[in-house]
Structure 1
Amino acid sequence: MSEIPILKVEDLRVSLPVDGGTLNAVRGVSFDVNRGETLCIVGESGCGKSLTSLAIMGLLPRRAKREAAALAFDGQSLQGMSPRGLRKLRGDRMAMIFQEPMTSLNPAYTVGDQLMEALLTHRKVSRSEARARAIALLEQVGITAAERRLAQYPHQLSGGLRQRVMIAMALMCGPELIIADEPTTALDVTIQAQILHLLLELKREMGLALVLITHDLGVVARIADRVAVMYAGEVVETGTAAEIFSDPQHPYTRGLLSCIPVPGRTRPGEHLGSVPGVVPSLIGSFTECGFRERCPLAREACARPIGLTPLGEGRAVRCVLAETEEAAA
């Protein structure tokens, strides 16, 4: 009997009303996340990565519409769950690290108050116990003078420290799943490496499942077990990190990888690859391959809806070339 995934997402769709019609921002996204696994969702800005994470957490804008064939946490459906039920899960068994800690932390409250809030909400503990837990976690995420930091406000901390506070906040109740939405975007390279190392260490120590959303393939190479590549609201390729980097199947994935300098192979001053063109508008009806207008291998068949073609266990690609090869096989 196979283990139930900690997170199951099947045919997730998110739409928002905008001027000129309906923006179909997430279009049929599917993936599973197992316990102790790191799934990286990668793609350029605007491809629907963050909206996918917000849809899972039930934090979409009020006017957004979420639909899915299945959306479950540890076998428990998140669809139709009451706001109270979602609040019991969020911050407790599933938590999120947001992209920009300066806008995610409340400037009017101290770091200590914001850290303790989740534990006091979800556990029957005293303030002194919550305070002790907050200090221990700040120390665990590498913040010195942790007790003194509790009395400080977010603006008194550096970007790296604020991000560490966000990680500590997500860990307060010992969650089984953490979704991290580009947690290193606003940080310099040295701090980025420290934060990634910290996330990996915490995942190993606590047995967490981690969904990391990023546009940085360098980050993916260092941290991912499995990868889902998103483009224009869809997952266009999935596989292990080794499969994606050594044998990319989708033209978009190949284009992304060509943009990365390869140590020992890319000469100084050499031009890197690029993906020409722009992302198509997802307002209104949209059925063709989203990458069609930018793809050097595009053909007539790309003008119709294209499904994910399985290439093996956990490996799939959304491309007519894969369909053709499967039919030939």
Structure 2
Amino acid sequence: MSDAILQIDGLTVDIATPRGSLHAVRDLSFKVEKGKTLCLVGESGCGKSMTSLAIMDLLPKAAKKSARRLSFAGEDLAKATPKRINALRGDRMAMIFQEPMTALNPAYTIGDQMTEAYKLHRKASEAEARDRAILLLGKVGIANAAQRLGQYPHQLSGGLRQRVMIAMALMCSPDLLIADEPTTALDVTIQAQILRLLADLQQELGIAMVLITHDLGIVARIADWVGVMYAGQIVEEGPTEAIFRNPRHPYTQGLIDCIPVPGRTEPGGKLGVIPGVVPSLVGEIRGCSFRDRCKHAKPACAEAPPLRQRPDGHSWRCILEDAA
């Protein structure tokens, strides 16, 4: 992947807890090209959302981040001042948050919240900002958009609030859009419309997108590059087709085996399962974090697994050359 607008090398996020340091993100590296979509996938607690918050500099106070490189459009975010980060956030970097019920401020109208960043970053008038908000609300499928601007979040359903969050993130036509489970509150029909909208806007504006999701169906439809996260690390990454056609890491294979396949999965038949739970990330972590849940585990897994790589960029961390 070249011509990357976002380049991350060695991102680490540690959170102080009474039991010790929780290693939420561990030595994470990836790139995102302009106009391309990177999907971060994995079960809850793998560090996907914490990664997005680290990029946007929105980590909780107890969290500490470090990175060998954290670059956006050639600018070192690790060395940027809070003032500079504020100038980028909401303008050239935007985020769709996972939970619209709490992401919107109940004390302000939808219009106030949507137009604030646009007026700040674009020096636009109130009328220009409202016109932009109405346009985007219409694009994400909200009827009577002008009237919605005068409503408060509690007057909208969960699905409408999620669409407002998406429209708000697109107000300034950002170069980078981070979408943390952007279709969680939506039904399947609206979900497809929103994903199509994001894809169309991405193509039109050349937006680079980091999409965080649990849904491998969404990943298969929208991703150019996939990073499979487990216990704070990317354990496998590569082109979408390669990940689905030939998953190399046992965890990736387990995730894919959990998906029913039309024509292959018998009605009422059993789906694949991954036994156990994500391990604790508090304190010292050694070896492969997946070894206690892996059917291929060997004594060698107690040591750090090697990073294997194919010429197309498909890479995985495992003692096995092939998980099959």
Q: TM-score range by the shorter chain?
A: over 0.9
2:244 corresponding residue in structure 1: 245
1:205 deviates by: 2.1
Q: After the TM superposition, which segments of 4 or more aligned residues of structure 1 sit over 4 Å from their partners?
A: none
- Report the Cα distance in structure 2 between the residues aligned to 1:192 and 1:298, rounded to whole angstroms: 38
Offset of residue 322 of structure 1: 3.0
In 2, the alpha carbon distance for the partners of 1:64 and 1:94 equals 21
Following superposition of structure 1 onto structure 2, how do residues 131-142 of structure 1 map, counting pairs within 5 Å? Answer: 131-142=130-141
- Aligned pairs for 1:130-209 within 5 A: 130-209=129-208
Aligned equivalents of 2:195, 2:122: Cα separation in 1: 29
Amino acid at match of 1:151: G
- Letter matched to residue 184 of structure 1: T
Inter-CA distance 3–301: structure 2 relative to 1 (3 Å threshold): closer
Provide the residue aligned with 2:7 in structure 1: 8
Partner of 2:290: 291
Match of 1:74 in 2: 73
Contact 2:50 2:59 in 1 (8 A): yes
Distance 2:154 2:67 in 1: 39
Query: How far, CA to CA, are the matches of 1:323 and 1:10 in structure 2?
Result: 26
Match of 1:302 in 2: 301
Question: Secondary structure of the residue that 2:4 maps to in structure 1?
Answer: coil
How big is each residue's C-alpha offset from its partner over 1:176-211, in whole Å with a ceiling of 9 and x where there is no partner?
A: 110000112233323322222222222122221111
**How far apart are residue 123 of structure 1 and its match?**
1.4
Give the TM-score normalised by the residue count of structure 2. 0.97
Mapped partners of 1:142, 1:201: distance in 2: 14
Checking the alignment, whether the CA contact within 8 Å between 2:202 and 2:208 is kept in structure 1 is yes
- Aligned runs of 1:1-329 on 2, under 5 Å? 3-322=2-321
Structure 1 contact 311–317 (Cα < 8 Å) conserved: no
The equivalent residue for 1:327 is none
Q: What SS does the aligned partner of 2:15 have? A: strand
Corresponding residue SS for 1:79: helix
Comparing 288-297 with 181-190, greater Cα deviation is found at 181-190
Please give the alpha-carbon distance, in whole angstroms, between the structure 1 residues aligned to 2:258 and 2:182: 22
Q: Is the 8 A contact 1:40 1:228 kept in 2?
A: yes
**What SS class does the counterpart of residue 237 from structure 2 fall into?**
strand
Between 216-225 and 255-264, the greater mean CA deviation after superposition: 216-225
- Give the length in aligned residue pairs: 323
TM-score (norm 1): 0.95
Instruction: State the distance in 2 between where 1:323 and 1:255 align.
Output: 13
Return the alpha-carbon distance in structure 2 between the equivalents of residues 212 and 307 of structure 1.
Answer: 27
307-316 vs 120-129, which moves further:
307-316
Shift of 1:146: 1.0
Instruction: Name the % identity.
Output: 62
Read off the aligned partner of 1:81 and give its amino acid letter: A
Query: Measured at CA, do residues 305 and 323 of structure 1 come closer, stay the same or move farther in structure 2, by a change above 3 Å?
Result: farther
Q: Distance in 1 between matches of 2:83 and 2:211?
A: 26
d(CA) in 2 for partners of 1:158 and 1:206? Answer: 29
Letter matched to residue 188 of structure 2 = V
Cα distance in structure 2, aligned partners of 1:301 and 1:312: 26
Shift of residue 323, structure 1, vs aligned partner = 9.8
Aligned residue type for 1:268: P
Higher alpha-carbon deviation: 289-298 or 141-150: 141-150
Structure 2 spans left out of the alignment, 5+ residues: none
| Matched-pair contact (CA < 8 Å) for 2:21–2:283 | yes
Secondary structure at the aligned position of 1:248 is classed as coil
On the 8 A contact 1:4/1:74 being kept in 2, the answer is no
Aligned-partner Cα distance in 1 for 2:98–2:192: 16
Question: 2:151, 2:53 → 1: CA distance?
Answer: 29
Which one is further off, 302-311 or 114-123? Answer: 302-311
Q: Is the 8 A contact 2:23 2:232 kept in 1?
A: yes
- SS where residue 312 of structure 1 aligns? coil
Residue type of the alignment partner of 1:282: L
Amino acid in the other structure paired with 2:150: A
Q: Tell me, what secondary structure is at the counterpart of 2:51?
A: helix
